[in-house]
Amino acid sequence: MITKQPVLNIGLVGHIDHGKTTVLYHLTGVWADKHSEELKRGITIKLGYADVIIHKCTKCNQYAIKKTCSCGGVAEPVKYVSFIDAPGHEMLMATMLGGAAIIDVALLTIAANEPFPQPQTKEHLLALECKGVKQIIILQNKIDLVTKEKAIEQYKKIKEFVKGSVAENARIIPICAQQDVNIDQILEEINTIESPKRDTESKPLFLIARTFDINRPGTEIKDLQGGVLGGILKSGKLKIGDIIEIKPGESLKKKDQTIYKTVKTKIIALRAGKNELQEVTPSGSLAIQTALDPFMTKSDGLVGCVAGLDNSLPEISYTLKLKTTLFKEIVGAKEQLKIDPLKTSEFLMLSVNTSTTIGKVMKMKGNEVELALKIPVLPFKGDRVGLARNYQSHWRLVGWGEIL
């Protein structure tokens, strides 16, 4: 029996040129970086999002995403999963961290024909650590472009590199995405991964990773469909008709000040891929259609917010207390830089769930820091926050903090 909701949310990470989009295409049949109108309007597929049902051939046991196997046998559905493509560009580190907040499994793509390790590859691995992602599969891509000896040499380097990291026990799969080589191995590996334990008993918390307007331009007001929220349900259950609140919500400019207004609305529809659902529980990517003015959800207008049942979310906070762990070195830059301890009055970029804010260090005591935030967040005790510091006008990951 295949589930109605994806059981895993899988993120593709790694250097921008190492073939992530091609990998995603061969895993899902969807070109993630196409800016086509169709993709822009799709409810379940926005840039970088796609759902897939993994099939297994009943005759030759090969894994595929199609019902008919290349051997001529019939493939049966075994697992329903969702994918997201995290941006590889260093400027989008904040987005990448936000993406890492909602994934269960990361596919780290490394090009076999490029020097290893690349600064960005290192930084993405650390970002996964910051956000507590533990399930990692390493894809050694473009193996057709190197000799067998070169591929083995790099494989050894990767093994050495991941020692002591979250990816220490990650399986390394050599692939050539463009020619569909070993894509079945990735699907097979994903199929062996158990879904994390899902909390359906606590209050519902929906982390918003994207929001959009699904109406075609020129739609009559009476035919307009309400704004859509995409993301994951971290805990609890939500059903059609529930009244929800979204925090911090809408940002409004008042004189020189920005204030945040909680947004309240009703759930009109719930979707997982093509499945329309009455009720949803924690899983891979989901979409909530609301009664909101689609203008509010247009172009990711509410990204970074958290949705919960009406009057159930904590107050927004302009301060954050963290227990911090700093890395030894900056890894995203070309040269290696030592990370100095945090200082009072310095500014850090913080990635809290799917949101990004800037915090000023106000107080410090050992590894505990108190920060004043520019954009408020919803602090949940125990959550992991990515910390980045500005070096030569780039935000570089320096460590992570646990919310106290």
Residues that bind Zn ion (CB under 5 A): 57, 59-60, 62, 69, 71, 73
CA distance to 47, 229, 268, 287, 305, per residue, from 214 (Å): 13, 11, 14, 12, 19
**3-class secondary-structure state, position 137:** strand
Q: Between residues 42 and 73, which has the closer beta carbon with respect to Zn ion? A: 73
- Nearest distance from C-beta of residue 61 to Zn ion, angstroms: 7
Closest approach, Cβ 68 to Zn ion, in A, equals: 9
CB 29 within 8 A of CB 67: no
Alpha-carbon distance 190 to 183, whole Å?
11
Minimum Å distance from CB 30 to Zn ion? 23
Q: Is the dihedral of CA 122, 124, 128, 129 positive or negative?
A: positive
Instruction: Kindly give the pairing relationship between strand 135-141 and strand 171-174.
Output: parallel
Q: Which residues, in sequence order, are CB contacts of 199 under 8 Å at separation 6+?
A: 234, 235, 236, 282
Nearer to Zn ion, 184 or 242 (CB): 184
Q: Which of 81, 67, 137, 149 is nearest to 109 (CA)?
A: 137
Total Cβ atoms within 10 A of residue 253: 8
CB of 187 to Zn ion, least distance (A): 13
**Closer to Zn ion by Cβ: residue 71 or 404:** 71
Residue number with CB closer to Zn ion (71 or 252): 71
Cβ proximity to Zn ion: between 185 and 235 the closer is 185
CB of 189 to Zn ion, least distance (A): 18
Whichever of 59 and 156 has its CB closer to Zn ion, that residue is 59
CB of 79 to Zn ion, least distance (A): 17
Instruction: Give the shortest CB-366-to-Zn ion separation in angstroms.
Output: 59
Closer residue to Zn ion in complex, CB, 59/374: 59
Distances (CA, A) of 58 to 2, 107, 190: 16, 27, 18
Among residues 207, 151, 209, which one has the least CA distance to residue 176? 151
Task: Give the integer Cα–Cα distance in Å for 402 and 384.
Answer: 5
